[in-house]
Amino acid sequence: MRLLIVEDEERLAQSLRQGLAAEGHAVDLAPDGLQGLELALHEPYSAIVLDLMLPGLNGFKVCRELRLAGHSVPILMLTAKNGEYDEVEALDCGADDFLSKPFSYPVLTARLRALLRRGATARPPVLAVGALRIDPAARRCTVAERQVRLTAKEFAVLECLAGNPGEVISKSGILDTVWDSAFRGDVNIVEVYIAALRRKLDVPGAGCRIETVRGAGYRLVPDAP
């Protein structure tokens, strides 16, 4: 999942980024409300952690602007301790949940997981193509009921394809979903991950394959019956 953290406290932002990246998420940081809004409007995030007290534009305003622009990305707002009115206003301006500071990291990640599940209601909790099953919450991938070990990035690339089965997704579309905006390497890194996934999914009875659509991208398709 690709996440955005809008937080001006540098140490908190960095430690959240490290923790979430270690769980396989691609994480972008914005140190103020304006940069946060700009990124949120233009990048495909799965969820946003949005601090309330921010320089430039506060969290309420960022949240309201995003909703006015028609973005439904799940937002977890960080509010001050005992800020009951803040919490009410957070929900009123379109945040999906709030967490008051100081918070514990496991609570934040649990809230984020809950938001990501809710945000993904349009798709089933376990993605299935052929005999491939991907459980994003459990970070588990099986082919014909046998577990396939994937790296965090391989899992994210496969999840991106399996979440849109049969649809062609461009290399840059995959890159935008799986890598954070600090990535400055070659878009062809996606090919390396596709090659690794093909090797790992090349199991008898897999019933699906990753097709290359020349000049367009990749798609995950079930084998013809």
Considering CB under 5 A, how many residues would be counted as binding Ca ion? 3
Residues 6+ apart with CB under 8 A from 193: 153, 154, 157
Residue 53 or 152 with smaller CB distance to Ca ion:
53
Residue 27 or 77 with smaller CB distance to Ca ion:
77
Min dist. Cβ of residue 91 to Ca ion (A): 19
**Cis ω on the peptide bond leading into residue 125 (within 30° of 0)?**
no
| Interface with Ca ion in residues 176-215 (CB under 5 A) | none
Per the CB < 8 A criterion, the answer to whether 78 and 7 are in contact is yes
Residue 9 or 135 with smaller CB distance to Ca ion:
9
**CA–CA separation, 221 vs 86, rounded Å?**
47
Q: Which of 39, 53, 189, 196 binds Ca ion (CB under 5 A)?
A: 53
Min dist. Cβ of residue 66 to Ca ion (A): 18
**CA–CA separation, 1 vs 178, rounded Å?**
7
**CA–CA separation, 213 vs 62, rounded Å?**
38
Region from 51-59, 79-87, 91-99, 118-126 binding Ca ion, contact rule CB under 5 A: 51-59
Region from 3-11, 20-28, 107-115, 198-206 binding Ca ion, contact rule CB under 5 A: 3-11
Indicate the SS3 state at residue 13. Answer: helix
**CA–CA separation, 22 vs 153, rounded Å?**
11
Region from 23-31, 46-54, 117-125, 178-186 binding Ca ion, contact rule CB under 5 A: 46-54
Per the CB < 8 A criterion, the answer to whether 95 and 73 are in contact is no
Count of all residues that appear for the chain in the document: 225
Min dist. Cβ of residue 37 to Ca ion (A): 15
Min dist. Cβ of residue 67 to Ca ion (A): 21
Residue 10 or 92 with smaller CB distance to Ca ion:
10
Region from 4-12, 79-87, 88-96, 187-195 binding Ca ion, contact rule CB under 5 A: 4-12
**CA–CA separation, 61 vs 1, rounded Å?**
25
Distances (CA, A) of 123 to 58, 167, 207: 32, 15, 21
Does 8 bind Ca ion (CB under 5 A)? Our answer is yes
Per the CB < 8 A criterion, the answer to whether 220 and 207 are in contact is no
Q: Which of 28, 51, 96, 176 binds Ca ion (CB under 5 A)?
A: 51
Region from 2-10, 92-100, 132-140, 181-189 binding Ca ion, contact rule CB under 5 A: 2-10
Binding interface with Ca ion (CB under 5 A): 8, 51, 53
